Structure 1
Amino acid sequence: MSAAAEIPYTTGLHEIAPGVRAWLAPDGSWGLSNAGLISGDGESLLVDTLYDLNLTRTMLDAMAPVTAAHPITVALNTHANGDHCYGNELLAPEVRIHAVTETAHEMAHDAPPEVMAALLSPAAAEGLGPVLADWIQRAFGKYEFGGITQRNPDVTFDQELTLSVGGRSVELRNLGPAHTGGDAVAWVPDAGVLFTGDLLFIGGAPIMWAGPIDNWLRACDEMIALSPEYIVPGHGPVTDCDGVRAVQGYWRHIRELAREAHGKGLSWTDAALAADLGEYAGLGESERVAPNMYQAYRELEPGLSTVDPLGMLAAMAQWDAVRGNGGTNATTPPATND
Structure 2
Amino acid sequence: MTSQSWTYAKGLHDLGHGSWAWLQPDGGWGWSNAGLIVDGDQSLLVDTLFDARLTAAMLDAMSDATGLSGDDIGTVVNTHANGDHTHGNGLCRHAEIIASEASAKEMAEVDAAMLHTMMTAAPNLGPSGKYLLDIFGNFDFANVAERAPTRTFTGELGLRIGDKPVSLIEVGPAHTAGDVLVHLPEDRIVYTGDILFIDGTPIMWAGPVGNWIAACDKILAMDVEAIVPGHGPITDKAGVRKVQTYLRYIDHEARKRFEAGLSVRDAAHDIALGDYASWIDSERIAVNVDTLYREYRGDTSPPNIVALFSLMAELKR
How high is the TM-score relative to the length of structure 1? Answer: 0.90
Q: Distance in 1 between matches of 2:287 and 2:152?
A: 28
For residues 192 and 305 of structure 1, do their structure 2 counterparts lie closer, same or farther at Cα, with a shift above 3 Å needed? closer
Give the drift of 1:39: 0.8
Decide whether the 8 Å contact of 2:176 with 2:204 is kept in 1.
Answer: yes
For residues 69 and 85 of structure 1, do their structure 2 counterparts lie closer, same or farther at Cα, with a shift above 3 Å needed? closer
Decide whether the 8 Å contact of 1:44 with 1:67 is kept in 2.
Answer: no
Q: Does 1:38 align with 2:34?
A: no
Match of 1:170 among 166, 184, 199: 166
Query: What SS does structure 2 have at the residue aligned with 1:295?
Result: helix
For residues 304 and 210 of structure 1, do their structure 2 counterparts lie closer, same or farther at Cα, with a shift above 3 Å needed? closer
Code of the aligned partner of 1:56: T
- The match for 1:12 is 11
Report % sequence identity: 44
Match of 2:201 among 198, 205, 209: 205
Q: Distance in 2 between matches of 1:4 and 1:19?
A: 18
Decide whether the 8 Å contact of 1:287 with 1:319 is kept in 2.
Answer: yes
Q: Distance in 2 between matches of 1:75 and 1:304?
A: 31
Give the drift of 1:125: 2.6
Decide whether the 8 Å contact of 2:36 with 2:44 is kept in 1.
Answer: yes
For residues 109 and 304 of structure 1, do their structure 2 counterparts lie closer, same or farther at Cα, with a shift above 3 Å needed? closer
Residue segments in structure 1 that go unaligned for 5+ positions in a row: 322-338
Q: Distance in 2 between matches of 1:124 and 1:209?
A: 21
Q: Distance in 2 between matches of 1:293 and 1:61?
A: 40
Q: Distance in 2 between matches of 1:99 and 1:152?
A: 9
Q: Distance in 2 between matches of 1:294 and 1:237?
A: 28
Q: How does 1:188-199 map to 2 (within 5 A)?
A: 188-199=184-195
Code of the aligned partner of 2:119: L
Code of the aligned partner of 2:99: A
Give the drift of 1:4: 2.1
- The match for 2:107 is 107
- Farther off after superposition, 25-34 or 306-315: 306-315
**Aligned-residue CA RMSD (Å):** 1.5
Q: Distance in 2 between matches of 1:69 and 1:262?
A: 52
Code of the aligned partner of 2:107: M
Give the drift of 1:150: 2.2
Q: Distance in 1 between matches of 2:299 and 2:98?
A: 34
Q: Distance in 2 between matches of 1:14 and 1:303?
A: 42
- The match for 2:85 is 84
Q: Does 1:73 align with 2:74?
A: yes
Code of the aligned partner of 1:75: V
Q: Distance in 1 between matches of 2:112 and 2:235?
A: 30
Decide whether the 8 Å contact of 1:132 with 1:314 is kept in 2.
Answer: yes
Q: Distance in 1 between matches of 2:105 and 2:164?
A: 29
Decide whether the 8 Å contact of 2:22 with 2:35 is kept in 1.
Answer: yes
Q: Deviations over 1:251-305 (max 9, x none)?
A: 1110111122122211111100111011211110001000000111122222487
- Farther off after superposition, 188-197 or 299-308: 299-308
- The match for 1:219 is 215
- The match for 1:336 is none
Decide whether the 8 Å contact of 1:119 with 1:125 is kept in 2.
Answer: no
Match of 1:287 among 261, 283, 287: 283
Code of the aligned partner of 1:76: V
Give the drift of 1:230: 0.6
Query: What SS does structure 2 have at the residue aligned with 1:161?
Result: strand
Q: Deviations over 1:145-203 (max 9, x none)?
A: 10324210001010111111011111111011100000011101121000000000001
Q: Does 1:134 align with 2:116?
A: no
- The match for 1:96 is 96
- The match for 1:161 is 157
- The match for 2:55 is 56
Query: What SS does structure 2 have at the residue aligned with 1:222?
Result: helix
- The match for 1:333 is none
Code of the aligned partner of 2:75: V
Give the drift of 1:248: 0.5
- The match for 2:296 is 300
Q: Which structure would you say has the larger Rg?
A: 1
- Farther off after superposition, 148-157 or 28-37: 148-157
Code of the aligned partner of 2:242: A
Code of the aligned partner of 1:54: R
Q: Distance in 1 between matches of 2:263 and 2:292?
A: 12
Decide whether the 8 Å contact of 1:14 with 1:23 is kept in 2.
Answer: yes
Query: What SS does structure 2 have at the residue aligned with 1:21?
Result: strand
Code of the aligned partner of 1:125: P
How high is the TM-score relative to the length of structure 2? Answer: 0.96
Q: Distance in 1 between matches of 2:255 and 2:143?
A: 44
Query: What SS does structure 2 have at the residue aligned with 1:281?
Result: helix
Q: Deviations over 1:38-76 (max 9, x none)?
A: 111112100000000110000000000344269420110
Q: How does 1:175-186 map to 2 (within 5 A)?
A: 175-186=171-182
Code of the aligned partner of 1:271: A
Query: What SS does structure 2 have at the residue aligned with 1:256?
Result: helix
Match of 1:238 among 234, 253, 267: 234
